[in-house]
Structure 1
């Protein structure tokens, strides 16, 4: 299961950018397989709109509210960055049954700022076949959300069930 795919298949699925057309099953995956999302431009109004609805803290609502805080100026909610990341992952990692997190871990090494162009770089780092369900494995994916300067704004690791073709 680990790492045994044809060169043609590797060319087809490595470093995929933007929306993906074909759906992937367990037998299509290998450790080291990479995906690159499209770019999402994030402006101040998107940050404020998300914050008003879901995370109404002063540093997510205005520059003035962020003054005197650890952020200093307007910063996106980490959950907003995560929501954008999820959308970009869904569009760029075409798992047939979807991206279903069994366990996840997320960190935000830098704040996401207005004017950022967000892009997600993801990779399968482990594939663990299920002992009790031969048609399934738990796949670990690590994703970095970066800005236009390549700065890592978020690191997201997920363990997900992935299934073989029916």
Structure 2
């Protein structure tokens, strides 16, 4: 069943997804988009403040987006986002982490006869419930 703007409820929460992070993927993503040694070279990364290889924050965003699409957006009338605020990476993502996402609808605003915007808080956590990403976004949804 497709989720439309009217189906969202302020205060509603959801949890979904599993994404297993590999060293190979961290290095590959960073090599293309964020080639800093703590993302691309396990030996050099071991000598940094992180003590080992970590995923780029932008990679963490991309993995979060994958979880959001698979867990919610692929079966919704979402029309994209207007932006993201308060993007934070409180803990780095490491090889072997297994990520999932939880969301909360914070606010809804009717924009026009055919769409509305939901302010959504998203948190990405590890299998040990350690927060690795938090953000608030404004997502547009079609109205019925």
TM-score, normalised by the number of residues in structure 2: 0.91
Deviations, residues 21-53 of structure 1 (Å, cap 9, x unaligned):
x21111111112222222011011111111111
Q: How many residues align?
A: 141
Q: Which residue of 1 aligns with 2:110?
A: 129
Match of 1:56 in 2: 35
How big is each residue's C-alpha offset from its partner over 1:77-109, in whole Å with a ceiling of 9 and x where there is no partner?
0111110100100111232134x1102021100
Higher alpha-carbon deviation: 105-114 or 89-98: 89-98
Is the 8 Å Cα contact of residues 5 and 77 (structure 2) preserved in structure 1?
no
Larger radius of gyration: 1
1:158 is aligned, of 134, 137, 142, to: 137
- Taking the aligned partners of 1:95 and 1:101, their CA distance within structure 2 comes to 13
Residue of structure 2 equivalent to 1:111: 92
Alpha carbons 2:37, 2:44 under 8 Å: kept: yes
Gaps of 5+ in 1: 1-21
Q: 1:66 pairs with 45, 48, 61, which one?
A: 45
CA RMSD of aligned residues (A): 1.3
Q: Which sits farther off after the overlay, 48-57 or 111-120? A: 48-57
Any unmatched runs of 5+ in structure 2? none
Higher strand share: 2
Shift of 1:128: 1.6
> Which gives a bigger RCO, structure 1 or 2 (Cα 8 Å, sep 6+)?
2
Q: What TM-score do the two structures reach when normalised by structure 1?
A: 0.80
Deviates more, 1:155-164 or 1:76-85: 155-164
Inter-partner Cα distance in structure 1 for 2:67 and 2:57: 15
